[in-house]
Amino acid sequence: MEIKFTKAAQLKEKPDFHCLGFGKYVTDYMFVMDYDEGQGWHDPQILPYDDFVMDPRCVTLHYGLETFEGLKAYRTEDNRILLFRPDMNAKRMQKSNERLCMAEIPEDMFVEAVKALVNVERDWIPDLPETSLYIRPVTYASECTIGVHPSSSFRFYIILSPVGCYYPEGVNPVKIFVEDEYVRAVIGGTGFCKCGGNYAASVKAQEKAEKLGYTQVLWLDGVHREYVEEVGTMNVMFKIDGKIVTPPLEGSVLAGITRDSILHILRDWGYEAEERRLSIHELMEAAKDGRLEEAWGTGTAAVISPIGELNYKGQITTISDFKTGPLTQKLYDYLTGIQWGKIADPYGWTVELN
Protein backbone atom coordinates (compact mmCIF):
# COMPACT_ATOMS: atom_id res chain seq x y z
CA MET A 1 0.00 0.00 0.00
CA GLU A 2 1.42 3.38 -0.93
CA ILE A 3 0.66 5.86 1.83
CA LYS A 4 0.82 9.55 0.96
CA PHE A 5 2.44 11.64 3.69
CA THR A 6 1.66 15.33 4.33
CA LYS A 7 4.00 17.05 6.74
CA ALA A 8 2.53 19.19 9.53
CA ALA A 9 3.52 22.86 9.43
CA GLN A 10 4.14 22.74 13.16
CA LEU A 11 4.33 19.93 15.72
CA LYS A 12 2.50 20.11 19.05
CA GLU A 13 4.20 20.40 22.38
CA LYS A 14 4.18 16.99 24.11
CA PRO A 15 2.21 16.73 27.35
CA ASP A 16 3.78 15.80 30.68
CA PHE A 17 3.92 11.99 30.49
CA HIS A 18 3.48 11.83 34.30
CA CYS A 19 -0.15 12.92 34.14
CA LEU A 20 -1.56 11.60 30.90
CA GLY A 21 -4.88 10.16 32.07
CA PHE A 22 -6.75 8.41 29.26
CA GLY A 23 -7.64 9.90 25.89
CA LYS A 24 -6.89 13.52 26.76
CA TYR A 25 -4.14 14.10 24.19
CA VAL A 26 -3.75 13.27 20.52
CA THR A 27 -0.59 13.15 18.46
CA ASP A 28 0.32 15.26 15.44
CA TYR A 29 -0.82 12.93 12.67
CA MET A 30 -3.64 10.59 11.73
CA PHE A 31 -4.14 7.92 9.08
CA VAL A 32 -7.14 8.24 6.72
CA MET A 33 -8.35 6.04 3.86
CA ASP A 34 -11.66 6.07 1.99
CA TYR A 35 -13.83 3.42 0.40
CA ASP A 36 -16.26 3.76 -2.45
CA GLU A 37 -18.29 1.03 -4.04
CA GLY A 38 -16.65 -0.08 -7.28
CA GLN A 39 -13.33 1.47 -6.25
CA GLY A 40 -12.57 -0.29 -2.97
CA TRP A 41 -10.24 1.28 -0.39
CA HIS A 42 -8.27 4.12 -1.90
CA ASP A 43 -6.06 7.12 -1.14
CA PRO A 44 -4.40 5.97 2.08
CA GLN A 45 -2.66 8.89 3.70
CA ILE A 46 -0.99 10.10 6.85
CA LEU A 47 -1.74 13.74 7.38
CA PRO A 48 -1.79 16.31 10.19
CA TYR A 49 -4.48 15.61 12.80
CA ASP A 50 -7.48 17.76 11.90
CA ASP A 51 -11.28 18.01 11.89
CA PHE A 52 -13.36 16.12 9.34
CA VAL A 53 -15.89 18.01 7.29
CA MET A 54 -19.18 16.10 7.29
CA ASP A 55 -22.38 16.51 5.38
CA PRO A 56 -25.19 16.67 7.97
CA ARG A 57 -26.78 13.69 6.20
CA CYS A 58 -23.79 11.44 6.82
CA VAL A 59 -25.49 8.16 7.79
CA THR A 60 -23.18 7.58 10.74
CA LEU A 61 -24.58 10.65 12.46
CA HIS A 62 -28.13 9.33 12.08
CA TYR A 63 -27.88 5.58 12.30
CA GLY A 64 -24.61 4.86 14.08
CA LEU A 65 -22.88 2.88 11.33
CA GLU A 66 -19.55 2.99 13.10
CA THR A 67 -17.03 0.48 14.44
CA PHE A 68 -13.77 0.97 16.25
CA GLU A 69 -10.80 -0.82 17.77
CA GLY A 70 -8.33 -0.24 20.57
CA LEU A 71 -4.73 -1.43 20.81
CA LYS A 72 -1.50 -0.05 22.18
CA ALA A 73 2.13 0.56 21.26
CA TYR A 74 4.62 0.05 24.09
CA ARG A 75 8.14 1.42 24.53
CA THR A 76 10.51 -1.13 26.03
CA GLU A 77 13.36 -0.27 28.42
CA ASP A 78 15.84 -0.73 25.57
CA ASN A 79 13.80 1.61 23.40
CA ARG A 80 12.13 -0.89 21.09
CA ILE A 81 8.51 -0.33 20.06
CA LEU A 82 6.10 -3.24 20.42
CA LEU A 83 2.52 -3.74 19.31
CA PHE A 84 0.38 -6.44 20.92
CA ARG A 85 -1.54 -8.82 18.62
CA PRO A 86 -2.58 -6.17 16.04
CA ASP A 87 -3.78 -8.96 13.71
CA MET A 88 -6.49 -9.75 16.28
CA ASN A 89 -7.79 -6.18 16.16
CA ALA A 90 -7.85 -6.34 12.37
CA LYS A 91 -9.84 -9.58 12.46
CA ARG A 92 -12.27 -8.26 15.06
CA MET A 93 -12.89 -5.10 13.08
CA GLN A 94 -13.67 -7.26 10.05
CA LYS A 95 -16.30 -9.11 12.09
CA SER A 96 -17.77 -5.87 13.43
CA ASN A 97 -17.87 -4.35 9.94
CA GLU A 98 -19.45 -7.46 8.47
CA ARG A 99 -22.27 -7.26 11.04
CA LEU A 100 -22.97 -3.61 10.17
CA CYS A 101 -22.70 -4.16 6.38
CA MET A 102 -19.58 -2.03 6.30
CA ALA A 103 -16.60 -2.59 4.01
CA GLU A 104 -14.01 -4.84 5.60
CA ILE A 105 -10.41 -3.73 5.78
CA PRO A 106 -7.97 -6.45 4.72
CA GLU A 107 -5.86 -7.55 7.71
CA ASP A 108 -2.54 -6.66 6.08
CA MET A 109 -3.78 -3.16 5.20
CA PHE A 110 -5.03 -2.57 8.74
CA VAL A 111 -1.75 -3.71 10.32
CA GLU A 112 0.35 -1.78 7.80
CA ALA A 113 -1.61 1.40 8.48
CA VAL A 114 -1.19 1.02 12.25
CA LYS A 115 2.53 0.37 11.91
CA ALA A 116 3.07 3.27 9.50
CA LEU A 117 1.31 5.80 11.73
CA VAL A 118 2.97 4.62 14.95
CA ASN A 119 6.32 4.75 13.19
CA VAL A 120 5.77 8.41 12.30
CA GLU A 121 4.72 9.15 15.89
CA ARG A 122 7.42 7.17 17.76
CA ASP A 123 8.34 10.18 19.88
CA TRP A 124 4.84 10.22 21.33
CA ILE A 125 5.20 6.78 22.90
CA PRO A 126 5.73 7.47 26.59
CA ASP A 127 8.45 5.71 28.55
CA LEU A 128 7.04 5.75 32.09
CA PRO A 129 5.58 2.75 33.95
CA GLU A 130 1.95 1.99 33.01
CA THR A 131 2.06 4.36 30.03
CA SER A 132 1.66 3.53 26.35
CA LEU A 133 0.38 4.94 23.08
CA TYR A 134 -3.28 4.06 22.63
CA ILE A 135 -4.22 3.37 19.01
CA ARG A 136 -7.81 3.99 17.98
CA PRO A 137 -8.81 2.75 14.49
CA VAL A 138 -12.35 3.69 13.42
CA THR A 139 -14.52 2.87 10.41
CA TYR A 140 -17.59 4.94 9.70
CA ALA A 141 -20.15 5.00 6.90
CA SER A 142 -19.78 8.19 4.90
CA GLU A 143 -22.72 7.99 2.53
CA CYS A 144 -25.04 10.99 2.63
CA THR A 145 -28.70 10.06 2.58
CA ILE A 146 -31.60 10.04 4.99
CA GLY A 147 -32.79 6.55 4.10
CA VAL A 148 -31.82 3.57 6.26
CA HIS A 149 -29.84 1.02 4.27
CA PRO A 150 -26.27 -0.24 4.05
CA SER A 151 -23.81 2.47 3.07
CA SER A 152 -21.78 2.38 -0.15
CA SER A 153 -18.94 4.55 1.09
CA PHE A 154 -16.80 4.52 4.22
CA ARG A 155 -13.87 6.18 5.89
CA PHE A 156 -11.27 4.31 7.92
CA TYR A 157 -9.02 6.39 10.14
CA ILE A 158 -6.57 5.91 12.99
CA ILE A 159 -5.69 8.36 15.72
CA LEU A 160 -3.16 7.99 18.55
CA SER A 161 -3.25 9.09 22.17
CA PRO A 162 -0.48 8.76 24.75
CA VAL A 163 -2.15 7.28 27.85
CA GLY A 164 -1.68 6.24 31.44
CA CYS A 165 -4.20 4.12 33.36
CA TYR A 166 -7.81 4.04 32.19
CA TYR A 167 -9.30 4.17 35.67
CA PRO A 168 -8.55 6.95 38.14
CA GLU A 169 -7.91 4.08 40.63
CA GLY A 170 -4.84 3.14 38.53
CA VAL A 171 -4.17 -0.57 38.99
CA ASN A 172 -6.03 -0.70 42.31
CA PRO A 173 -9.36 -2.50 42.84
CA VAL A 174 -12.48 -0.94 41.34
CA LYS A 175 -16.07 -0.99 42.63
CA ILE A 176 -18.62 -2.43 40.22
CA PHE A 177 -22.38 -1.95 40.20
CA VAL A 178 -24.38 -4.92 38.87
CA GLU A 179 -26.91 -3.41 36.48
CA ASP A 180 -30.31 -5.14 36.54
CA GLU A 181 -32.47 -2.49 34.86
CA TYR A 182 -30.76 -1.43 31.62
CA VAL A 183 -29.24 -3.90 29.16
CA ARG A 184 -26.31 -3.56 26.81
CA ALA A 185 -26.90 -6.29 24.24
CA VAL A 186 -28.80 -9.44 23.32
CA ILE A 187 -27.78 -12.47 21.29
CA GLY A 188 -28.48 -11.72 17.64
CA GLY A 189 -27.72 -8.04 18.14
CA THR A 190 -24.34 -6.31 17.98
CA GLY A 191 -22.95 -7.14 21.44
CA PHE A 192 -19.96 -9.00 19.99
CA CYS A 193 -19.02 -6.03 17.79
CA LYS A 194 -16.89 -3.12 18.79
CA CYS A 195 -19.35 -0.52 17.61
CA GLY A 196 -20.33 2.85 19.01
CA GLY A 197 -23.95 1.78 19.40
CA ASN A 198 -23.07 -0.69 22.16
CA TYR A 199 -21.41 2.07 24.12
CA ALA A 200 -24.26 4.50 23.44
CA ALA A 201 -26.58 1.95 25.05
CA SER A 202 -24.31 1.80 28.08
CA VAL A 203 -23.85 5.39 29.22
CA LYS A 204 -27.17 5.66 31.07
CA ALA A 205 -26.18 2.80 33.35
CA GLN A 206 -22.65 4.17 33.62
CA GLU A 207 -24.06 7.50 34.79
CA LYS A 208 -26.22 5.73 37.35
CA ALA A 209 -23.28 3.68 38.66
CA GLU A 210 -21.06 6.75 38.94
CA LYS A 211 -23.72 8.63 40.89
CA LEU A 212 -23.76 5.73 43.36
CA GLY A 213 -19.98 5.86 43.70
CA TYR A 214 -19.14 2.93 41.39
CA THR A 215 -16.52 2.91 38.65
CA GLN A 216 -18.36 0.74 36.12
CA VAL A 217 -21.32 -1.56 35.65
CA LEU A 218 -21.44 -5.32 35.34
CA TRP A 219 -23.95 -6.17 32.63
CA LEU A 220 -26.37 -9.06 32.96
CA ASP A 221 -27.85 -10.82 29.93
CA GLY A 222 -30.65 -8.92 28.23
CA VAL A 223 -33.23 -11.72 28.31
CA HIS A 224 -33.21 -13.05 31.88
CA ARG A 225 -31.22 -10.30 33.67
CA GLU A 226 -29.51 -13.28 35.23
CA TYR A 227 -26.24 -14.25 33.55
CA VAL A 228 -23.12 -12.17 33.94
CA GLU A 229 -21.86 -10.74 30.61
CA GLU A 230 -19.16 -8.07 30.77
CA VAL A 231 -18.15 -4.89 32.55
CA GLY A 232 -18.43 -1.46 30.83
CA THR A 233 -15.03 -1.41 29.15
CA MET A 234 -13.71 -4.89 29.89
CA ASN A 235 -14.42 -8.61 29.97
CA VAL A 236 -14.69 -10.16 33.37
CA MET A 237 -13.22 -13.23 35.10
CA PHE A 238 -13.87 -14.76 38.51
CA LYS A 239 -11.82 -17.21 40.54
CA ILE A 240 -14.30 -19.45 42.31
CA ASP A 241 -13.11 -22.50 44.28
CA GLY A 242 -9.75 -22.34 42.52
CA LYS A 243 -11.26 -22.40 39.01
CA ILE A 244 -11.58 -19.46 36.66
CA VAL A 245 -15.01 -18.71 35.24
CA THR A 246 -15.69 -16.23 32.45
CA PRO A 247 -18.85 -15.68 30.37
CA PRO A 248 -18.85 -17.49 27.00
CA LEU A 249 -18.76 -15.72 23.63
CA GLU A 250 -22.31 -16.42 22.52
CA GLY A 251 -22.89 -13.22 20.59
CA SER A 252 -23.65 -10.62 23.22
CA VAL A 253 -20.16 -10.34 24.73
CA LEU A 254 -17.12 -8.69 23.13
CA ALA A 255 -14.35 -11.12 22.13
CA GLY A 256 -11.64 -9.31 24.06
CA ILE A 257 -8.06 -9.77 22.93
CA THR A 258 -6.82 -9.43 26.50
CA ARG A 259 -9.51 -11.96 27.51
CA ASP A 260 -8.20 -14.43 24.93
CA SER A 261 -4.58 -13.85 25.98
CA ILE A 262 -5.34 -14.34 29.68
CA LEU A 263 -7.28 -17.56 29.01
CA HIS A 264 -4.25 -18.90 27.12
CA ILE A 265 -1.92 -17.94 29.95
CA LEU A 266 -4.16 -19.37 32.69
CA ARG A 267 -4.51 -22.70 30.89
CA ASP A 268 -0.74 -22.84 30.34
CA TRP A 269 -0.30 -22.24 34.06
CA GLY A 270 -2.49 -25.25 34.73
CA TYR A 271 -5.68 -23.49 35.77
CA GLU A 272 -9.05 -24.79 34.76
CA ALA A 273 -10.64 -21.86 32.93
CA GLU A 274 -14.31 -22.35 32.14
CA GLU A 275 -16.13 -20.28 29.53
CA ARG A 276 -19.66 -20.79 30.71
CA ARG A 277 -22.79 -18.99 31.81
CA LEU A 278 -22.50 -17.73 35.34
CA SER A 279 -25.64 -16.54 37.05
CA ILE A 280 -25.46 -13.53 39.31
CA HIS A 281 -27.03 -15.65 42.04
CA GLU A 282 -24.30 -18.28 41.76
CA LEU A 283 -21.73 -15.50 41.91
CA MET A 284 -23.25 -13.78 44.94
CA GLU A 285 -23.65 -17.16 46.70
CA ALA A 286 -19.99 -17.95 46.06
CA ALA A 287 -19.07 -14.54 47.46
CA LYS A 288 -21.24 -15.13 50.56
CA ASP A 289 -19.68 -18.55 51.21
CA GLY A 290 -16.14 -17.21 50.78
CA ARG A 291 -15.61 -19.22 47.57
CA LEU A 292 -15.23 -16.17 45.34
CA GLU A 293 -11.49 -15.73 45.73
CA GLU A 294 -10.70 -13.07 43.15
CA ALA A 295 -12.34 -11.09 40.35
CA TRP A 296 -10.79 -8.99 37.63
CA GLY A 297 -11.57 -7.32 34.34
CA THR A 298 -9.52 -7.62 31.16
CA GLY A 299 -9.26 -5.09 28.36
CA THR A 300 -6.78 -3.17 26.25
CA ALA A 301 -7.52 0.11 28.00
CA ALA A 302 -8.16 -1.43 31.43
CA VAL A 303 -5.36 -4.06 31.12
CA ILE A 304 -6.05 -6.34 34.15
CA SER A 305 -8.18 -4.50 36.62
CA PRO A 306 -8.93 -6.03 40.03
CA ILE A 307 -12.55 -5.89 41.16
CA GLY A 308 -12.83 -5.16 44.86
CA GLU A 309 -16.56 -4.77 45.34
CA LEU A 310 -19.83 -5.83 43.70
CA ASN A 311 -23.22 -4.31 44.44
CA TYR A 312 -26.20 -6.36 43.29
CA LYS A 313 -29.59 -4.92 44.29
CA GLY A 314 -28.02 -3.33 47.38
CA GLN A 315 -26.31 -6.57 48.41
CA ILE A 316 -22.67 -5.60 48.67
CA THR A 317 -19.79 -8.03 48.59
CA THR A 318 -16.13 -7.22 49.05
CA ILE A 319 -13.68 -9.37 47.11
CA SER A 320 -10.11 -10.19 48.26
CA ASP A 321 -10.51 -7.69 51.14
CA PHE A 322 -10.57 -4.97 48.49
CA LYS A 323 -6.95 -5.77 47.64
CA THR A 324 -5.45 -6.98 44.39
CA GLY A 325 -5.57 -10.80 44.63
CA PRO A 326 -2.37 -12.82 44.11
CA LEU A 327 -3.48 -14.37 40.81
CA THR A 328 -4.74 -11.02 39.50
CA GLN A 329 -1.35 -9.49 40.33
CA LYS A 330 0.55 -12.39 38.78
CA LEU A 331 -1.47 -12.10 35.57
CA TYR A 332 -1.01 -8.35 35.47
CA ASP A 333 2.76 -8.66 35.94
CA TYR A 334 3.09 -11.41 33.34
CA LEU A 335 0.92 -9.82 30.65
CA THR A 336 2.36 -6.35 31.05
CA GLY A 337 5.84 -7.91 31.26
CA ILE A 338 5.29 -9.35 27.77
CA GLN A 339 3.69 -6.15 26.45
CA TRP A 340 6.47 -3.88 27.69
CA GLY A 341 9.13 -6.38 26.53
CA LYS A 342 10.43 -7.04 30.06
CA ILE A 343 9.95 -10.78 29.77
CA ALA A 344 10.21 -13.14 26.81
CA ASP A 345 7.04 -13.56 24.79
CA PRO A 346 6.56 -17.31 24.37
CA TYR A 347 3.41 -16.80 22.28
CA GLY A 348 4.72 -14.57 19.50
CA TRP A 349 2.08 -11.98 20.39
CA THR A 350 4.31 -8.92 20.30
CA VAL A 351 5.16 -7.32 16.97
CA GLU A 352 8.24 -5.12 16.92
CA LEU A 353 8.31 -2.01 14.76
CA ASN A 354 11.37 -1.73 12.58
| Binding-site ranges for ligand COI (CB under 6 A) | 70, 233, 299-301
Identity of the residue, 173 or 232, whose beta carbon is nearer to ligand COI in the bound complex: 232
**Least distance CB 234 / ligand COI (angstroms):** 7
Identity of the residue, 235 or 311, whose beta carbon is nearer to ligand COI in the bound complex: 235
Identity of the residue, 82 or 287, whose beta carbon is nearer to ligand COI in the bound complex: 82
Identity of the residue, 233 or 339, whose beta carbon is nearer to ligand COI in the bound complex: 233
Which residue number places its CB atom closest to ligand COI?
Answer: 70
Contact call for residues 279 and 270 (beta carbons, < 8 A): no
**Least distance CB 55 / ligand COI (angstroms):** 27
Contact call for residues 247 and 231 (beta carbons, < 8 A): no
Identity of the residue, 85 or 282, whose beta carbon is nearer to ligand COI in the bound complex: 85
CA-to-CA distance for 198 and 32, rounded, in angstroms?
Answer: 24
**Least distance CB 42 / ligand COI (angstroms):** 27
For residue 343, report the phi and psi dihedrals to the nearest 5 degrees.
-130, 155
Hey, what long-range contacts does 283-291 have (CB within 8 A, 24 or more apart)?
283/228, 283/238, 283/240, 283/310, 284/310, 284/312, 284/315, 284/317, 286/238, 286/240, 286/241, 287/317, 287/319, 288/317, 291/240, 291/241
**Least distance CB 299 / ligand COI (angstroms):** 4
DSSP secondary structure string for all residues of 21-68: -SS----SEEEEEEEETTTEEEEEEEEE--PPP--TTBHHHHH--EEE
Q: Which residues pair with residue 177 across a beta bridge?
A: 217, 311
Q: SS3 for 175?
A: strand
Contact call for residues 105 and 93 (beta carbons, < 8 A): yes
For residue 318, report the phi and psi dihedrals to the nearest 5 degrees.
-100, 135
How far CA 348 is from CA of 33, 83, 247, 338, 341, in Å, comes to: 29, 11, 26, 10, 12
Identity of the residue, 167 or 238, whose beta carbon is nearer to ligand COI in the bound complex: 167
The two beta strands, 303-312 and 174-179, are parallel
Nearby residues of 207 by Cβ (< 8 Å), 6 or more positions away: none
**Least distance CB 9 / ligand COI (angstroms):** 31
**Least distance CB 145 / ligand COI (angstroms):** 28
- Inter-helix orientation angle 107-120/86-99, to 10°: 130
Identity of the residue, 240 or 257, whose beta carbon is nearer to ligand COI in the bound complex: 257
**Least distance CB 63 / ligand COI (angstroms):** 20
Identity of the residue, 143 or 230, whose beta carbon is nearer to ligand COI in the bound complex: 230
Identity of the residue, 27 or 300, whose beta carbon is nearer to ligand COI in the bound complex: 300
How far CA 86 is from CA of 208, 243, 328, in Å, comes to: 34, 29, 24
Which amino acid is residue 354, in one-letter code? N
Q: CA nearest 67: which of 35, 23, 102?
A: 102
**Least distance CB 108 / ligand COI (angstroms):** 22
**Least distance CB 285 / ligand COI (angstroms):** 30
